């Protein structure tokens, strides 16, 4: 690290600049962030919504929010008491002597308003800015957040494939098929690079030569070779066989393999030449040279004119292949550009924004002409910023913060650790971090490890020190500065008779060949050896714990502890899901319960594939092949013999067909989850249901958790999609392309005290008492057939190559970057342990170094730990791109003793912290200590429940019923109406409109989704018809409802403070009176439908409500007072929640309007003022609009400067839709409660 980097003192670090804090693992990064946050509250007087805190996952955001709040609460308590046992709090108390009252006020304000704290993920922050500054950023107000754009990407790739490849013919089509090119494979290549067009450059080159010429050359060469073999084949065969008898060929060409090549050519020559046989390539001059046994010094490869003809075929074939490879790579370049553009277009059409768009749009806006104004707006909003996990930034994210904060005298802290930058697969870019570091005003480091024992700290310091390897992280920009262990009391693992060393190597024993010669472990065997040795050591520790001999004793978080070591104290860190399974199996075989944690998609599991087979059979129960495939799954539990026997027993087979048909019917008629539960509980031939059958496996809990998770996701999708086929197609796509979105990640199957199997990526940020790292020798860097190569050039720019230019050099550069990230991943793995860390190591296979090829290969030499333990001797001199070749050369012939010697050299540098043990692999089983019998009894409640504190609503109060947890808009329940025995004939159509909650909801929807000022009868009719259909009402009512809507919107609504009139219809009167309103004049920007509110209630009880409403000065109508006397409800404390059907503005005044579909009688005369008052009283609607008025009164008071009730509140309308007349004298209830009544209600609810 640069010399200018200083140790951070959280109490004195300046709060007026952009600072970088590099926090090594375990050094208290989160503690530091909470401390800086507290100082910003106390010293700068900032509010919680002015301090921006950004981290990179929702889980981290939730944890950080909780930690910050806890720090503020502890700090407030410390100031109130004047002292604290917490060192941080006491230090600040001492610094603020004489300013305690100010500190208490600021902390109290921060805690009381903490719900407004600006603690976000990076995407949450961008979304907030784009929404709050929509004009400045040019963003759509109503854009929907698209959390998963994978479906759109699939469509874009399929469209490109159809256009560019769908019509391919001839050699090009055959070559694509031979290379197994499909839309799915292309999708895998480009998906990680979508949305990065602003900073990712593609490698490109000129178009290849004319394919027509190349095809003609290949055709001519094939014809010549075909004719040559036909005429001279016998002589060539004799020559080849004779050479083979002299042992002139190596294994690729000799014996049966040579005969197979000859047979292939004999078959090929019998037909006209149309394809290039592999045998022709193998028996060409160059192919024979490769297959020549070079140990036969006196022999030369056989020569014949036919072989030269085959060589011409090879050359033409290679030229054609090279041309096709270039064409394919350029096609993928165009595909990526097409998909980026197509996604933008698709999302714009749908008015959607993806996570990529949130970042790109904000960055683009900040770079635009309005950028300085937008940046100023963000700075005005967020006067300080704490950016966590900054090592995981990318060019777009940093560009945002650079435009907003760099160069400004504001407190900004970029907190991260480049040694833990391990998320390049998510788009993190370490080169961006390194560039950003140079742009900061000050750089600090945290240099005290609070997590691990001193021995572990010494071991990690030694492993990554320059003495061990001058380039510990392979990148000169990332140095290593050792940390010190905190001087504090802590718990330790105590095992009598065990060495006290904290860092331990488990060395694999010597491997032997079939001939008992010493050899290296192959990767497959090494995996099993590592898993077995890890499981054996875990069993030893847990058995000692069961005997009371392995304990964790000492002090943890200020408390004395002395307890047996438990399974939950142990974590096994693995690179992959496959290796996690090996550990799980090895532990299960020894009786050790374990649980897996990782970042794998549940759709990538065996349960997903098996459940897909079952779903396919349920969807098409008459297709017997699908049924057989479903029955053969472990979920259904039948083996091949049982299935074959079933088909010989027609009756039993028919029963299975009927059972799947039954599940199909349940799904179609009652929904997916109903079917799934029935299927899950159905006993099979073994008399076990699916749950019991799955739980019988050694990893049964894992399997059942996956299955239930899949069912939950399928149920969600079932609600979104129309038809069973669509759901199945979605599930098939998920299995084909498993995504790792948060809701699809595998869940923890148990939280019991079990050994935890965790991927190294998942372990970041976590800590465990005991850690095992069995697979650090696994050097996998790159798939052999990988075609999308991402790397950085010499200038640090992100590049992507699909196979053009110097692809081999770019693969070397990419491999070097991947090894560098593996070194950072190694650092993460080795810094998770608190008490002890185990590493499995040994003599693992390394590819031969005899060739001059320095392209990447896979083996021990490409593992990160090998780079540190066994560095090449010329590490300071070898060019970067060939470093992997140098270490491969060193390890290719290394013996186990030499490997052990390197490990011992390292151990000597750790000052006694490291022990080297031979892995002891045995079959000993875990013998848990017997659990004492515990007599269970029900707990006794010793406190009173705060039953009054809850969320209430008008509906709950008026119905005298329980509180509804999720209050919904009130769309009129069925109202009992006493009708005469002989019902009078109705005198208007809406009198006969269906009654009840559903018709009421329908009429609400008609008005809610119609634009009042629109004069379009055809569009209105279509809208009404759509709503009637959606609510299951005959569309024959369309005309009547349209007439009603027209009447209501054009009716002259009297001023709310005018007296109720209209005892007889006044249909001819259409004159507007002063203050009257017609709804058809209300534009969309002056109204809000279904306005939701929630406000605080100190106390809401019957006696208090009657006391306020009975006050004579409030002039509540007697009919309402009488209804109030009949009302009864339980006392409420907590919150009042509800939805106002409509709030609109007219001439600077705001009105509440409620649509009522109540049926009051068959004639218009039933909707006079007297009848409306009776209905309002009967259903306690007077209380509803008073509750609504208080809500709007409070809302307007917060939003309008100089708000006054008499000036700004207009009144209340209740429109009884079945009886509204054009003059507004019938069917319209209006009122404008007095200000004194509303103020009295407001103060009473607040208990002021």
Which is more confident, 502 or 514?
A: 502
Residues 791 and 863 in one domain: yes
Residues 14 and 95 in one domain: yes
From the centroid of its chain, how far is CA 369?
34
Domain harbouring 198, CATH code: 1.10.3170.10
30 is in an annotated binding site: yes
108 is in an annotated binding site: no
Nearest to 750 by CA among 715, 808, 704: 704
Whether this prediction's pTM lies above 0.85 is answered by: no
What is the mean pLDDT of the segment spanning 510-528? Answer: 89
Q: Identify the domain containing residue 211 by its residue range.
A: 144-350
For the chain, percent of residues with pLDDT exceeding 90: 49
* Number of structural domains the chain divides into: 5
1030 is in an annotated binding site: no
Q: Rounded distance, CA 984 to CA 1162, Å?
A: 7
pLDDT at residue 982 tops 70: no
Q: Rounded distance, CA 148 to CA 743, Å?
A: 11
Which is more confident, 1095 or 907?
A: 907
User: For position 1058, what pLDDT does the model report?
Assistant: 86
What is the mean pLDDT of the segment spanning 861-881? Answer: 76
Residue 458 lies in a domain: no
Q: DSSP states of 1085-1136 as a string?
A: GGEEEEEEEEEEEEEE-HHHHHHHHT-GGG---HHHHHHHHH-----EEEEE
pLDDT at residue 149 tops 80: yes
pLDDT at residue 35 tops 80: yes
User: Checking DSSP bridges between strand 949-952 and strand 484-485, what pairing results, if any?
Assistant: unpaired
Q: How many CA atoms lie within 13 A of 453 on its CB side?
A: 26
Among 131-145, 567-581, 931-945, the range with the most confident prediction by mean pLDDT is 567-581
For all residues of the chain together, what is the average pLDDT? 87
Task: Provide the b/e sequence for 110-147 (b: ≥16 CB within 10 Å).
Answer: bbeebeebbbbbbbbbbbbbbeebeebbebeeebeebe
285 is in an annotated binding site: no
Residues 138 and 148 in one domain: no
Q: How confident is the model at residue 274 (pLDDT cuts 50, 70, 90)?
A: confident
28 is in an annotated binding site: yes
Residue 932 lies in a domain: no
Identify whether 1154 is a catalytic site residue: yes
User: For position 122, what pLDDT does the model report?
Assistant: 92
What is the mean pLDDT of the segment spanning 530-557? Answer: 93
Among 4-8, 965-969, 1166-1170, the range with the most confident prediction by mean pLDDT is 1166-1170
Residues 341 and 390 in one domain: no
304 is in an annotated binding site: no
Residues 593 and 607 in one domain: no
Residues 584 and 630 in one domain: no
Which is more confident, 381 or 862?
A: 381
User: For position 1070, what pLDDT does the model report?
Assistant: 42
Q: Report helix, strand or coil for 354.
A: strand
Residues 629 and 586 in one domain: no
97 is in an annotated binding site: no
User: Checking DSSP bridges between strand 442-446 and strand 18-23, what pairing results, if any?
Assistant: parallel
Q: How many CA atoms lie within 13 A of 1010 on its CB side?
A: 30
Q: Which of 106-110, 149-153, 863-867, 972-976 has the lowest mean pLDDT?
A: 972-976
Residue 397 lies in a domain: yes
User: Which distant-in-sequence residues (6+ apart) come within 8 Å of 209 by Cβ?
Assistant: 323
Residue 279: Cβ within 10 Å count: 21
Rounded to whole angstroms, what are the CA distances from 57 to 420, 741, 765, 998?
16, 12, 12, 42
629 is in an annotated binding site: no
The predicted-structure confidence for 432-446, as pLDDT tens digits, reads as follows: 999 999 999 999 999
Q: Rounded distance, CA 919 to CA 879, Å?
A: 37
Domain harbouring 631, CATH code: 1.10.486.10
pLDDT at residue 1149 tops 70: yes
pLDDT at residue 648 tops 60: yes
Q: How many CA atoms lie within 13 A of 284 on its CB side?
A: 21
Query: Do residues 800 and 788 lie in contact, with contact meaning Cβ atoms separated by under 8 Å?
Result: yes
User: Checking DSSP bridges between strand 503-507 and strand 914-918, what pairing results, if any?
Assistant: parallel
Residues 907 and 1035 in one domain: no
User: For position 1072, what pLDDT does the model report?
Assistant: 60
Residue 461 lies in a domain: no
27 is in an annotated binding site: yes
Q: How confident is the model at residue 890 (pLDDT cuts 50, 70, 90)?
A: confident
User: For position 983, what pLDDT does the model report?
Assistant: 54
Q: How many CA atoms lie within 13 A of 371 on its CB side?
A: 16
User: For position 293, what pLDDT does the model report?
Assistant: 77
Residues 316 and 370 in one domain: no
Domain harbouring 1031, CATH code: 3.90.320.10
Residue 101 lies in a domain: yes
What is the mean pLDDT of the segment spanning 407-416? Answer: 94
184 membership: H or E segment, kind and range:
helix 183-190
Residue 976 lies in a domain: no
The predicted-structure confidence for 717-756, as pLDDT tens digits, reads as follows: 888 887 888 889 889 888 887 776 667 777 776 666 889 9
Query: Do residues 323 and 804 lie in contact, with contact meaning Cβ atoms separated by under 8 Å?
Result: no
- Runs of H (alpha helix) within 893-996: 896-908, 954-958
Length in residues, the chain: 1248
pLDDT at residue 973 tops 80: no
The predicted-structure confidence for 671-711, as pLDDT tens digits, reads as follows: 899 999 999 988 888 788 888 998 888 778 888 999 999 99
Rounded to whole angstroms, what are the CA distances from 163 to 189, 625, 899?
19, 35, 56
Residues 1109 and 1232 in one domain: yes
Nearest to 492 by CA among 446, 456, 447: 456
Q: How many degrees, rounded to 5, is the angle at CA 646 between CA 640 and CA 651? A: 170
Residues 542 and 679 in one domain: no
Q: Rounded distance, CA 250 to CA 307, Å?
A: 18
Query: Do residues 335 and 258 lie in contact, with contact meaning Cβ atoms separated by under 8 Å?
Result: no
Q: Rounded distance, CA 1082 to CA 1146, Å?
A: 8
Query: Do residues 1136 and 1245 lie in contact, with contact meaning Cβ atoms separated by under 8 Å?
Result: yes
Residue 474 lies in a domain: no
User: What is the 3-class SS of 591-644, one letter each residue?
Assistant: CCCEEEECCCEHHHCHHHHHHHHHHHHHHCCCCHHHHHHHHCCCCCCCCHHHHH
Q: DSSP states of 807-866 as a string?
A: HHHHHHHHHHHHHHHHHHHHHHHHTSEEEEEEEEE--B------SS--S---SGGGSHHH
The predicted-structure confidence for 329-380, as pLDDT tens digits, reads as follows: 999 999 999 999 999 999 888 888 888 888 988 999 999 888 999 999 999 9
Q: How confident is the model at residue 132 (pLDDT cuts 50, 70, 90)?
A: confident
What is the mean pLDDT of the segment spanning 250-254? Answer: 85
Query: Do residues 1182 and 1069 lie in contact, with contact meaning Cβ atoms separated by under 8 Å?
Result: no
Residue 326: Cβ within 10 Å count: 19
Residue 729 lies in a domain: yes
Residue 507: Cβ within 10 Å count: 19
711 is in an annotated binding site: no
Rounded to whole angstroms, what are the CA distances from 176 to 166, 180, 331, 723?
11, 6, 12, 35
Domain harbouring 417, CATH code: 3.40.50.300
- Of the three residues 424, 446, 468, the one that is the final residue of a domain is 446
Residue 425: Cβ within 10 Å count: 12
pLDDT at residue 1065 tops 60: no
Q: Rounded distance, CA 931 to CA 1091, Å?
A: 57
Question: Of these residues, 388, 1154, 1231, 1242, which one is catalytic?
Answer: 1154
Rounded to whole angstroms, what are the CA distances from 418 to 118, 123, 440, 607, 835?
25, 22, 15, 38, 25
pLDDT at residue 966 tops 60: no
The predicted-structure confidence for 167-186, as pLDDT tens digits, reads as follows: 777 778 888 888 889 998 99
29 is in an annotated binding site: yes
User: For position 1, what pLDDT does the model report?
Assistant: 40
Query: Do residues 583 and 556 lie in contact, with contact meaning Cβ atoms separated by under 8 Å?
Result: no
User: For position 700, what pLDDT does the model report?
Assistant: 84
Residues 528 and 628 in one domain: no
- Of the three residues 332, 350, 368, the one that is the final residue of a domain is 350
- Of the three residues 744, 775, 798, the one that is the final residue of a domain is 744
């Amino acid at each position: 690290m640069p010399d200018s980097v200083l140790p951070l003192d959280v109490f004195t670090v300046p709060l007026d600049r952009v600072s970088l804090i590099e926090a090594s693992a375990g050094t208290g990064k989160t503690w530091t962030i909470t401390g800086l946050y507290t100082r910003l509250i106390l010293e700068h007087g900032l509010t919680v919504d002015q301090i921006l805190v950004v981290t990179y996952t929702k889980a981290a955001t939730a944890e950080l929010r909780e930690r910050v709040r806890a720090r503020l609460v502890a700090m407030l308590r410390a100031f109130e008491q004047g002292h604290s046992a917490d060192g941080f709090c006491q230090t600040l108390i001492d610094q603020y002597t004489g300013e305690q009252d100010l500190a208490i006020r600021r902390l109290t304000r921060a805690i009381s308003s903490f719900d407004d704290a600006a603690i976000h993920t990076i995407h949450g922050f961008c979304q907030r800015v784009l929404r709050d500054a929509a004009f400045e950023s040019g963003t759509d107000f109503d854009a929907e957040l698209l959390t998963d754009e994978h479906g759109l990407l699939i469509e874009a790739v399929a469209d490109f494939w159809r256009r560019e490849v769908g019509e391919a013919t001839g050699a090009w089509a055959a070559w694509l098929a031979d290379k197994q090119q499909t839309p799915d494979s292309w999708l895998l290549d480009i998906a990680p690079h979508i949305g990065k067009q602003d900073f990712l450059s593609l490698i490109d080159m000129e178009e290849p030569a004319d394919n027509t010429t190349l095809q003609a050359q290949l055709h001519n060469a094939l014809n010549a070779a075909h004719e040559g073999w036909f005429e001279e084949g016998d002589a060539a065969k004799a020559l080849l066989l004779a050479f083979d008898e002299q042992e002139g060929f190596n294994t690729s060409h000799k014996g049966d393999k040579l005969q197979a090549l000859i047979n292939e050519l004999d078959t090929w020559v019998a037909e006209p030449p149309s394809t290039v046989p592999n045998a022709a390539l193998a028996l060409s001059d160059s192919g024979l040279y490769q297959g020549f046994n070079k140990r036969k010094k006196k022999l030369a490869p056989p020569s014949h004119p036919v072989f030269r003809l085959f060589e011409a075929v090879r050359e033409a074939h290679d030229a054609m292949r090279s041309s096709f490879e270039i064409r394919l790579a350029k096609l993928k370049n165009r595909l990526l550009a097409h998909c980026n553009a197509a996604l933008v277009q698709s999302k714009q059409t749908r008015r959607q924004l993806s996570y990529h768009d949130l970042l790109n749009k904000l960055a683009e806006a900040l770079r635009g002409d309005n950028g300085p104004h937008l940046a100023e707006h963000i700075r005005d909003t967020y006067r300080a910023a704490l950016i966590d996990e900054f090592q995981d930034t990318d060019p777009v994210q940093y560009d945002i913060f650079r435009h907003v904060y760099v160069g400004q005298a504001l407190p900004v802290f970029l907190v991260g650790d480049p040694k833990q930058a391990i998320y390049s697969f998510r788009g993190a870019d370490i080169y961006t971090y390194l560039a950003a570091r140079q742009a900061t005003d000050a750089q600090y480091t945290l240099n005290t490890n609070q997590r691990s024992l001193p021995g572990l700290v010494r071991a990690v310091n030694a492993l990554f020190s320059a003495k061990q390897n001058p380039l510990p992280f392979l990148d000169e920009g990332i140095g290593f500065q050792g940390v010190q262990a905190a001087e504090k009391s802590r718990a330790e693992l105590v095992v009598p008779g065990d060495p006290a060393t904290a860092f331990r190597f488990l060395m694999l024993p010597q491997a032997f060949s079939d001939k008992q010669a010493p050899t290296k472990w192959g990767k497959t065997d090494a995996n099993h050896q590592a898993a077995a040795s890890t499981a054996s050591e875990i069993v030893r520790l847990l058995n000692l714990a069961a005997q009371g001999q392995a304990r964790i004793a000492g002090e943890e978080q200020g408390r004395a502890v002395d307890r047996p070591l438990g399974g939950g104290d142990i974590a096994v860190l693995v690179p992959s899901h496959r290796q996690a399974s090996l550990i799980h199996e090895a532990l299960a075989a020894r009786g050790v319960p374990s649980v897996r944690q990782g970042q794998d998609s549940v759709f990538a599991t065996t349960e997903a594939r098996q459940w897909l087979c079952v779903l396919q059979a349920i969807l098409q129960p008459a297709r017997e092949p699908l049924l057989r495939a479903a029955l053969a799954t472990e979920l259904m539990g039948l083996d091949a013999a049982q299935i074959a026997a079933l088909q010989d027993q027609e009756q039993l087979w028919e029963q299975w067909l009927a059972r799947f048909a039954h599940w199909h019917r349940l799904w179609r008629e009652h929904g997916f989850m109903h079917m799934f539960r029935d299927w899950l509980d159905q006993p099979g031939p073994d008399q076990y249901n699916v749950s019991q059958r799955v739980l019988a496996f050694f990893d049964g809990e894992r399997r059942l958790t996956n299955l239930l998770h899949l069912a939950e996701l399928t149920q969600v999708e079932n609600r979104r999609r129309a038809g069973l086929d669509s759901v199945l197609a979605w599930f098939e796509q998920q299995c084909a392309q498993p995504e790792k979105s948060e809701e699809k990640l595998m869940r923890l199957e148990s939280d019991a005290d079990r050994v935890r199997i965790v991927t190294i990526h998942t372990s970041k940020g976590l800590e465990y008492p005991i850690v095992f790292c069995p697979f650090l020798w696994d050097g996998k860097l790159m798939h052999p057939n990988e075609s999308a190569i991402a790397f950085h050039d010499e200038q640090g720019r992100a590049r992507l190559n699909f196979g053009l230019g110097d692809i081999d050099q770019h693969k070397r550069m990419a491999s070097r970057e991947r090894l560098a990230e593996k070194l950072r991943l190694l650092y993460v793995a080795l810094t998770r342990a608190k008490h002890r860390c185990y590493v499995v190591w040994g003599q693992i296979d390394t590819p031969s170094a005899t060739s001059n090829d320095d392209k990447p290969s896979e083996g021990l030499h490409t593992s990160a730990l090998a780079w540190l333990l066994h560095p090449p001797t010329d590490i300071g001199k070898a060019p970067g791109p060939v470093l992997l070749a140098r270490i491969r050369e060193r390890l290719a012939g290394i013996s186990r003793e030499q490997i052990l010697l390197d490990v011992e050299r390292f151990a000597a540098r750790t000052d006694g912290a490291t022990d080297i043990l031979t892995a002891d692999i045995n079959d000993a089983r875990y013998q848990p200590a017997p659990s004492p019998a515990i007599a269970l009894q029900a707990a006794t409640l010793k406190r009173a429940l705060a039953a009054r504190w809850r969320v209430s609503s008008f509906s709950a109060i008026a119905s005298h019923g329980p509180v509804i947890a999720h209050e919904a808009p009130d769309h009129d329940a069925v109202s009992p109406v006493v009708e005469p025995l002989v019902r009078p004939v109705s005198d208007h159509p809406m009198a006969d409109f269906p009654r009840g909650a559903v018709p009421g909801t329908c009429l609400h929807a008609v008005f809610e989704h119609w634009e009042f000022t629109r004069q379009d009868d055809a569009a209105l009719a279509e809208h009404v018809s759509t709503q009637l259909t959606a609510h299951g009402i005959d569309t024959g009512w369309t005309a009547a409802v349209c007439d009603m809507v027209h009447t209501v919107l054009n009716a002259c609504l009297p001023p709310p403070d005018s007296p109720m009139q209209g005892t007889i219809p006044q249909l001819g009167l259409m004159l507007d009176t002063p203050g009257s309103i017609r709804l058809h004049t209300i534009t969309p920007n002056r109204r809000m439908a279904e306005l939701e509110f929630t406000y605080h209630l100190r106390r809401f009880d019957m006696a208090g409500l009657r006391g306020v409403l009975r006050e004579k000065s409030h002039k509540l109508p007697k009919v309402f007072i009488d209804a109030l006397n009949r009302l009864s409800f339980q006392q409420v404390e907590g919150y009042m929640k509800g939805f106002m059907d409509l709030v609109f503005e007219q001439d600077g005044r705001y009105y509440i309007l409620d649509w009522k579909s109540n049926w009051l009688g068959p004639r218009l005369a039933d909707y006079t003022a007297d009848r409306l008052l009776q209905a309002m009283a009967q259903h306690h609607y007077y209380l509803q609009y008073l509750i609504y008025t208080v809500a709007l009164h409070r809302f307007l008071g917060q939003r309008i400067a100089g708000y006054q009730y008499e000036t700004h509140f207009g009144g209340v309308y209740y429109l009884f839709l079945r009886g509204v007349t054009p003059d507004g004298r019938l069917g319209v209830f209006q009122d404008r409660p007095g200000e004194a009544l509303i103020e009295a209600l407001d103060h009473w609810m607040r208990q002021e």
